[in-house]
Amino acid sequence: VFAASVGKPKVHLFDTRNYARGEFSSFDVAPHLKGDVLVRVVQFSPCGKYLLVRTATQLILIDAFDGELICEYDVAPAEGEAPPKGPIPVPSFSPDSQYVLSGVPGGDSCIWQTTNARLVHRLAGHTEQPTRTAFSPVHALCVTVAETLAWWIPAD
């Protein structure tokens, strides 16, 4: 199964074995979006239960089966700040689907609990908004990319 969003605030699900038959499901995410409704990133969780949906100003988690909003992560710039220029950050899931990692304005990256958007840890160190983030599938570390590449290893 893969997800796509083209032009409208709608996520379409396709079965790779039956692609010629078209989408087998779709979700309108417009009711969950504010401002810019152009979907830039759609990503499945490793467990297959969730979809991360990223616009220029929002990062939301929806149920992969019914499209219902589960939570929204705080990725907006501080009040009074302009949105960062450049590419939209691509978020990532931890291998066990328990955490979400994404770059945020100001140069930090945040790790949230997946299903309730509770901030678990803030990684400070970049001077620009990280645009790529990833958890290691094997080791207890993550990587963020902005003007430099940073490897993050937990202290305990």
Q: What is the pLDDT of residues 96-143, one digit of tens each?
A: 999 999 999 988 999 999 999 999 999 998 999 999 999 999 998 999
User: 125 — alpha (psi -120 to 50), left (phi > 0) or beta?
Assistant: left
Rounded to whole angstroms, how far apart are CA atoms 25 and 59? Answer: 21
pTM over 0.85: yes
What is residue 156's predicted lDDT score, i.e. its pLDDT?
63
Q: What is the pLDDT of residues 19-56, one digit of tens each?
A: 888 889 999 999 999 988 889 999 999 999 999 999 98
